[in-house]
Structure 1
Amino acid sequence: MEQIQKQRDFFESQGTHDIYWRKARLRELQQAIKTNESALYEAFKHDLGKSQFEAYTTEIAIVYREIKYMLQNLDRLSLAKRVRTPWVLMGKRSEIRKQPRGNVLIMSPFNYPVQLSLVPLVGAIAAGNTAIVKLSEFTPSINQVLINMLNVTFDDHYIYAMDGDVSVNTKLLDASFDFIFFTGSPHVGKIVMRAASEHLTPVILELGGKSPAIVLDDAKIKAAAQKIIWGKLINTGQTCVAPDYVLVHESRYDDLVEAMKKAIESFYGQDIKNNRDYGRIVNETHAKRLRLIISDNKENIIYGGDSEGRYVAPTLLRDTILDDEIFGPILPIQTFKEIHEVKETIAKHPNPLALYLFTETEDHPLLNEVRFGGGIVNDTVLHLVNDRLPFGGVRTSGIGHYHGEHSFDAFSHVQGIMHSTSRSLPVMYPPYTSWYKRLKIIRKVF
């Protein structure tokens, strides 16, 4: 593609290296979002049925926070860091530098099209890269706003936004980039990683995962129910870190289910379908997949189960955990008696991207006994909001992490640099005819 070479040429001209220049571009992005906020709200309502409140708090506000963090910390993040040099290398000094990776590709999904395209872009800009932003084709209204916003704000030799189907993805992945940042499903993540390997291109993969909510016998049930239901139903369950299933101690099952039903109706009322705060599934294909899940598990429905078009009602299932990530407003609930059952259940499924533990026990050992990307004790999803925490998965739920300083590092190449004088170290040079005496000296030193 023409834009790839143009961006590579611009990067090689050192055009992105100046810190003040990068800050100016971040401010331009910030202003562009503000200018287009109203258009984005309309597009969110059309593509995902999102309310303005949810669109702002779960998408736009997070991008603003990331820009603010970078503007406040970019000087510090970009400084070379002096590190200790061993005394045997006397006269030398060592430092760590962070250099831009180069021309990067950002591939974002449909579920949070603003947050998951622009937060990585903020990291790319702050670290001094050029970028192509590839948006999912499933949110055409939002894409139209984003593409116009980014391509008007920035020259295409610096930032270029586009959408398109699988054929566009294939063309992009056939090209050689310096770095690829992908957010999406594990299936497509494997395709991206395989394509990147042809060019030995480093990647960060932010993937899905079956994230459990675990409710122990000492949990505050009402609060746990509200927080789990909120985390599950924002964006109509189309959230990579949404609770995918609940494991609850058998002694608290009945109380939790009743509290969850009350939480759903407290949030959305009796007529959920016509509640303006409850969104829609992105398209008919995904809605049909969710309806099939409900149909296959109709004997286990304990709440909800209704659907029509892109509307799928909040649905609670008992005694079943599905193999694949649900990615919708369906929440299976299963009981356990002993804590080892929790660990065994989690181990049967792909690595969780997040884990939510509800307990009044401080520093519960389970947090160290299960592998997961990140999480919260006594809440859901909100760890994403803290830009000082790294966000990323483990194995099948992702490779690498970002947000805040971690985004800057993700889009940077870390260099180790040593500065030396012209003084030589003759003990290391050939010929090694007197090697035995030299080796005795070196053994003492090292």
Structure 2
Amino acid sequence: MAGFSDSLLRLRASFSAGKTRPLEFRCSQLNALLCLLRENEEGLLDALYADLRKSRFEALVTELRFVKNEAWTALNNLERWSRPEGVERSFVTKLDHCFIRREPLGVVLIIGTWSHPVRFLLTPLVGAMAAGNAAVLKPSEVSGRTSETLASLIPRYLDKECFAVFTGGPSETRRLLQYKFDYIFYTGGSPVGKLVMKAAAEHLTPVTLELGGKNPCYVSPDADPESTARRLVWGRFLNAGQSCLGPDLVLCTPEVRDRLLPALKRSLREFYGPRPRDSPDYGRIVDRHRFRRLRDLLGSGRVVLGGEWDEEERYIAPTVLVDVKESDPVMKEEIFGPILPILSISSMGEAIEVISRGQKPLAVYVFSSCAKVIREVLDHTSSGGFCSNDNLMQSSLNTLPFGGVGSSGFGTYHGRFSFETFSHRRACLLRSPGLESLNVARYPPYNQQKLNWILWVTDVRRRDCSCSVL
């Protein structure tokens, strides 16, 4: 971390000089990022395989392609996003020019996570770039190979006067957080998220926290077991379950469970073969510390599918648990691994009660062919996002905001939401120096006539609408 002070001063000087503000510069850096991804695709794929044994398909679709699409979206819309936004004017401002101007925040810090080490570091960077900020990037040391690869590539492609990368572990992150930034964007777990927020408070720095939680999935009796199983298996065991959006818990009646289990078994065999450890499409746990935590969670409930493990290889088979209780360890924390517990409930109402008793998750899922069931779960639960008859897919559409609520985080990004996150919406009113006679009523000495006039011209009148006043 030696030399960080000098780097931060250099970035702040570049921002203060206005280097990052022109749209031409922003576009050039976004294009440079796209060039980095294009020219170093194989190196990044190798790094992701080394860290997580992530398949080429998964790495391209959920990491590189995701960032590319974000960058192209920003390039396609940046001029429009950056235009001043006119606002409705009151009677007393009819002659003024009133608008919202979006301005960059300054020097921002982006702290990535290891589960999707390219996507969760570079996607926020796209928003920071598009909004005209300078940025410091801190990739996760847990995915060390990908971290080192990005740290070596980014200075070669992006302007070193405006963008910097720092590697290291928790101690380096703590030292980094001692400095003042104009915004901090953190993706990771809640314990570190609390430390980030505490450090930010020392400088009154605004933050976005992208955390996680136990994403519940209610499977209704009318759901098709085959399609439900295929989508659940894909969403839970993608990246060996190391995804903040994966379904973390299935809620269903015992009858639904008994229909679902054979379908889950068929889907697992279809996707990963009779021996998932030999499948080129099934990943590994990122390190031994996290492997051991997951292995201990296998003691909850009863294993009905999978359960095999190999510490040397950091392999845990795709596993389904039944007979779990809310008091079991697997129900007390986000799993973040290839384990899918099924909790038996008696009805949709009980499922909603279970969901509501827990912390607000990053996503709620429901599988049903009945629109009323879907609406009931949507209306009576709270989460960062919601998806029916699938999972994860809500995050693939960058016209939807991605983010948590409550303990699963706050703040959103993706597409224009990233641009807005890293922008200050500056309220602007441009008024003529003339027409002073119109201002006399607001100046002392005050009298009833002036008061009546001010109240009349500033009154907001209610329009006809369907809302009733209580």
State the match for 1:335 in structure 2: 344
State the match for 1:229 in structure 2: 233
State the match for 1:211 in structure 2: 215
**Does the 8 A contact of 1:218 with 1:360 survive in 2?**
yes
Post-superposition Cα deviations, 1:310-366, rounded to whole Å, max 9, x if no partner, equal 101111111325110000001100122222211211122221101111111225221
Give the aligned residue type for 1:386.
L
**Does the 8 A contact of 2:387 with 2:394 survive in 1?**
yes
Q: Which moved more, 1:70-79 or 1:364-373?
A: 364-373
Given the alignment of the two structures, is residue 386 of structure 1 paired with residue 401 of structure 2, yes or no? no
Given the alignment of the two structures, is residue 34 of structure 1 paired with residue 38 of structure 2, yes or no? yes
Q: CA deviation at 1:157?
A: 2.2
Given the alignment of the two structures, is residue 353 of structure 1 paired with residue 362 of structure 2, yes or no? yes
State the match for 1:86 in structure 2: 90
Given the alignment of the two structures, is residue 97 of structure 1 paired with residue 101 of structure 2, yes or no? yes
Q: CA deviation at 1:58?
A: 0.7
Q: Which moved more, 1:58-67 or 1:355-364?
A: 355-364
**Does the 8 A contact of 2:54 with 2:281 survive in 1?**
yes
Post-superposition Cα deviations, 1:223-275, rounded to whole Å, max 9, x if no partner, equal 11110110000110000001001011333111111111111111001111111
Give the aligned residue type for 1:431.
P
Q: CA deviation at 1:156?
A: 2.7
Given the alignment of the two structures, is residue 426 of structure 1 paired with residue 437 of structure 2, yes or no? no
**Does the 8 A contact of 1:3 with 1:156 survive in 2?**
no
State the match for 1:440 in structure 2: 452
State the match for 2:142 in structure 1: 138
Q: CA deviation at 1:38?
A: 0.4
- Among all aligned residue pairs of Structure 1 and Structure 2, give the percentage whose two residues are the same amino acid: 38
- Residues 259-278 of structure 1 aligned to structure 2 (within 5 Å): 259-278=263-282
Give the aligned residue type for 2:427.
G
**Does the 8 A contact of 1:36 with 1:145 survive in 2?**
no
User: Which structure 2 segments of 5+ residues have no match?
Assistant: 460-470
In structure 1, distance between residues paired with 2:455 and 2:144: 66
Post-superposition Cα deviations, 1:83-140, rounded to whole Å, max 9, x if no partner, equal 1110122311210110001000000010000000000000000000000110111111
Q: CA deviation at 1:304?
A: 1.0
In structure 1, distance between residues paired with 2:440 and 2:96: 15
Give the aligned residue type for 1:93.
H
**Does the 8 A contact of 2:29 with 2:159 survive in 1?**
no
**Does the 8 A contact of 1:375 with 1:381 survive in 2?**
no
Aligned with 2:228: secondary structure?
helix
In structure 1, distance between residues paired with 2:227 and 2:245: 19
Given the alignment of the two structures, is residue 173 of structure 1 paired with residue 177 of structure 2, yes or no? yes
In structure 2, distance between residues paired with 1:90 and 1:77: 25
Post-superposition Cα deviations, 1:346-392, rounded to whole Å, max 9, x if no partner, equal 12222110111111122522102101000211111011111101000
State the match for 1:407 in structure 2: 418
Give the aligned residue type for 2:302.
N
TM-score calculated relative to the size of structure 2: 0.92
**Does the 8 A contact of 1:351 with 1:372 survive in 2?**
yes
Aligned with 2:252: secondary structure?
strand
Given the alignment of the two structures, is residue 318 of structure 1 paired with residue 316 of structure 2, yes or no? no
Give the aligned residue type for 2:343.
Q
**Does the 8 A contact of 1:84 with 1:93 survive in 2?**
no
User: Which structure 1 segments of 5+ residues have no match?
Assistant: none
- Choose which of 256, 261, 276 in structure 1 pairs with 2:260: 256
**Does the 8 A contact of 1:106 with 1:134 survive in 2?**
yes
In structure 1, distance between residues paired with 2:370 and 2:322: 26
Give the aligned residue type for 1:384.
S
Aligned with 1:334: secondary structure?
strand
Aligned with 2:223: secondary structure?
coil
**Does the 8 A contact of 1:352 with 1:394 survive in 2?**
yes
**Does the 8 A contact of 2:100 with 2:425 survive in 1?**
yes
In structure 2, distance between residues paired with 1:141 and 1:90: 59
- Residues 143-158 of structure 1 aligned to structure 2 (within 5 Å): 143-158=147-162
User: How large is the RMSD of aligned CA atoms in angstroms?
Assistant: 1.1
In structure 1, distance between residues paired with 2:387 and 2:101: 33
- Choose which of 299, 307, 316 in structure 1 pairs with 2:309: 307
Q: CA deviation at 1:41?
A: 1.1
Give the aligned residue type for 2:39.
T
**Does the 8 A contact of 2:133 with 2:422 survive in 1?**
yes
In structure 2, distance between residues paired with 1:382 and 1:163: 31
State the match for 2:380 in structure 1: 369
Give the aligned residue type for 1:120.
P
Give the aligned residue type for 1:311.
Y
- Residues 45-194 of structure 1 aligned to structure 2 (within 5 Å): 45-194=49-198
Q: Which moved more, 1:329-338 or 1:125-134?
A: 329-338
**Does the 8 A contact of 1:117 with 1:135 survive in 2?**
yes
In structure 1, distance between residues paired with 2:257 and 2:144: 42
TM-score calculated relative to the size of structure 1: 0.97
